[in-house]
């Protein structure tokens, strides 16, 4: 009797343990029990990139122009942001009879343009057409602008374009026409102004600008060894602040290339080297190609200088800007990292083919913590990985919208 009771007790204990184990199993695996046997990931086009935001200073190959009569005030012969050839006049300083002569020239310009519009004169010239487009573009840009300085800048541009158009029209007019006579009077007045004014000429060809901030002789483009984090921080400039127009000086700068210098301490910056090609994304969302042309080691930072050949005119108003450095960017078939299987130094994905699982080798081009950009191996690459010709013939490749298994 006692033995029977002992056996029953043992049975109850064993049964209780089995039940407890089963309950624990149900609790810990309830998600997997009701989960589909496999989850699938659809191959899609996408892109991956590694980027960071930085602050930088724009460095140009630029020459400042300043004459002896800079206290008199100046008149722009060439508009801000306009190209000029070597030895062409850029601006001049006011003369004593400035206001009287300018008033006479302005009246002549109005009369010339009025005659042309009323008479329907047709003077075919690509230069005149170009000036008319510049006037139209400048007028359009003034809509919804409430910044007084910008309005005045555009007004000066329009006046300069109208004056240039009147002068060019007179030159193309018949020698015995009234327009030609008015143009001759205008030229005589301009000559009188020139004789009594100090004119500043372009020492080189390039783009004219009147935004002079004093850093033109400090931030030099011929050698970057002088750059340091302390120097860049000492300028105390606001990011994106527009350099104001000067009433005393102008400058000519190379409009084909410029540089952006930055002090940075990121991991990618520490690995960067001269000659690397990267992409910069500017505040206007433009993505431009850039090349690292200078690297300087400091205690915790690195000085990097990027050379760019795009958006030079768009950057002419600024000295300090914020931008994104896109260290790399890959586009192609984007899949989850959980789809990738690594075996024997090879990478695969498993493709679901109506219930049949097929293992397909893929090449991983770029990868972050979540996704990868992949592509199919070529036959030559597969041979290099040890596949025979018969194996290669039997292998399928992944395609867009394929369903691959998510592990």
> According to the model, what pLDDT value does residue 111 have?
82
pLDDT exceeds 60 at position 151: no
- The confidence score (pLDDT) of residue 3 equals 52
Mean pLDDT of 262-291: 95
The better pLDDT of the pair 158, 292 is held by: 292
* pLDDT over threshold 60, residue 148: no
The upper half-sphere exposure of residue 257, i.e. CA atoms within 13 Å in the direction of its Cβ, equals: 11
- Single pTM value for the model: 0.66
Instruction: Note the pLDDT tens digit of each residue in 166-224.
Output: 666 656 555 457 777 887 888 888 787 777 778 899 999 999 999 999 999 999 999 99
Across the chain, mean pLDDT equals 83
pLDDT at 26: 53
The larger pLDDT score, comparing residue 34 to residue 292, is at: 292
Contacts of 309 (CB under 8 A, 6+ apart): 256, 257, 289
- Who wins on pLDDT, 187 or 282? 282
In angstroms, the CA 104 to CA 108 distance is 6
For residue 201, the model assigns a pLDDT of 95
Q: Which 3-state string (H, E, C) describes the chain?
A: CHHHHHHHHHHHHHHHHHHHHHHHHHHHCHHHHHCCCCEEEECEEEEEEEEEEEEEEEECCEEEECCCCHHHCEEECCCCCCEECCCCEEEEECCCCHHHHHHHHHHHHHHHHHHHHHHCCCCCCHHHHHHHHHHHHHHHHCCCCCCHHHHHHHHHHHHHHHHHHHHHHHHHCCCCCHHHHHHHHHHHHHHHHHHHCCEEECCCCEEEECCCCCCCCCCCCCCCCCCCHHHHHHCCCCCCCECCCCCCCEEEECCCCEEEEEEECCHHHHHCCCCCEEEEECCCCCEEEEEEEEEEECCCCEEEEEEECCCCCCCCCECEEEEEEEEEEEEEEEEEHHHCEEECCEEEEEEEECCEEEEEEEEEEEECCCEEEEEECCHHHHHHCCCCHHHHHHCCCCCCCCEEEEC
Range 260-268 average pLDDT: 95
- In sequence order, the 6+-apart residues with CB closer than 8 A to the CB of 159 are none
Residues 117 and 111: their CA atoms lie apart, in Å, by 10
- Taking the C-alpha atoms of residue 89 and residue 76, their distance in angstroms, rounded to an integer, is 9
Q: What is the pLDDT of residues 327-383, one digit of tens each?
A: 999 899 999 999 999 988 889 899 877 767 888 999 999 988 899 999 999 999 989
CATH code, 51-62+213-328: 2.40.30.170
Lowest mean pLDDT among 1-15, 206-220, 268-282, 317-331: 1-15
Cα 295 to the chain's mean position, in Å?
21
Residue 70 has pLDDT above 90, yes or no: no
Q: What pLDDT is stored for residue 31 in this prediction? A: 40
User: Pairing state of beta strands 206-209 and 320-336?
Assistant: unpaired
pLDDT in tens, 6-65: 556 665 666 666 667 566 655 554 444 443 445 888 999 999 999 999 999 999 999 999
pLDDT tens-place string over residues 72-120? 888 888 989 999 999 999 998 887 777 788 788 888 878 877 777 776 5
What topology does CATH give the domain 39-47+332-406? 2.40.420
When pLDDT is averaged across residues 276-297 and rounded to a whole number, the result is 95
Pairwise pLDDT comparison (315 vs 41), residue with the higher score: 315
């Amino acid at each position: 009797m006692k033995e029977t009771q002992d056996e029953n007790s043992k049975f109850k204990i064993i049964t209780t343990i089995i039940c407890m184990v089963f309950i624990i199993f149900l609790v810990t695996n309830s998600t997997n029990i009701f989960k589909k046997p496999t989850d699938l990931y659809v191959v899609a086009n996408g892109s991956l990139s590694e980027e960071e935001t930085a602050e930088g200073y724009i460095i140009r190959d630029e020459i400042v122009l300043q004459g002896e009569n800079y206290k008199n005030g100046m008149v722009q012969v060439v508009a801000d942001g306009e190209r000029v050839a070597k030895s062409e006049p850029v601006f001049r300083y006011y003369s004593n009879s400035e206001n009287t002569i300018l008033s006479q020239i302005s009246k002549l310009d109005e009369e010339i343009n009025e005659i042309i519009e009323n008479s329907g004169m047709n003077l075919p010239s690509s230069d005149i057409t170009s000036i008319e487009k510049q006037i139209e573009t400048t007028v359009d840009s003034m809509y919804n602008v409430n910044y007084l300085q910008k309005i005045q800048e555009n007004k000066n541009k329009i006046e300069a374009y109208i004056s240039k158009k009147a002068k060019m029209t007179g030159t193309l007019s018949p020698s015995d026409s009234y327009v030609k006579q008015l143009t001759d009077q205008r030229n005589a007045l301009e000559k009188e102004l020139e004789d009594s004014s100090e004119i500043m000429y372009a020492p080189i060809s390039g783009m004219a600008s009147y935004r002079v901030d004093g850093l033109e002789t400090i931030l030099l483009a011929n050698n970057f060894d002088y750059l340091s984090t302390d120097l860049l921080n000492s300028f105390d400039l606001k990011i994106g602040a527009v350099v104001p127009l000067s009433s005393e000086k102008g400058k000519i700068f190379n409009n084909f290339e410029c540089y952006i210098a930055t002090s940075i301490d990121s991991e990618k910056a520490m690995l960067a080297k001269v000659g690397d090609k990267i992409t910069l994304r500017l505040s206007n969302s433009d993505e431009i190609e850039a090349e690292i042309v200078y690297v300087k080691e400091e205690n915790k930072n690195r000085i990097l200088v990027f050379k760019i050949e795009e958006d030079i005119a768009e950057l002419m108003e600024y000295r300090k800007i914020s931008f994104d450095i896109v260290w790399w960017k890959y586009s192609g078939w984007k899949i989850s990292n959980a789809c990738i299987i690594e075996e024997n130094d090879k990478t695969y994905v498993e493709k679901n083919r109506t219930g049949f699982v097929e293992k397909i080798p893929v090449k991983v081009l770029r990868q972050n913590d979540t996704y990868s950009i992949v592509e199919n191996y070529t036959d030559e690459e597969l041979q290099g990985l040890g596949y025979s010709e018969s194996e290669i013939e039997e292998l399928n490749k992944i395609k867009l919208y394929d369903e691959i298994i998510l592990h």
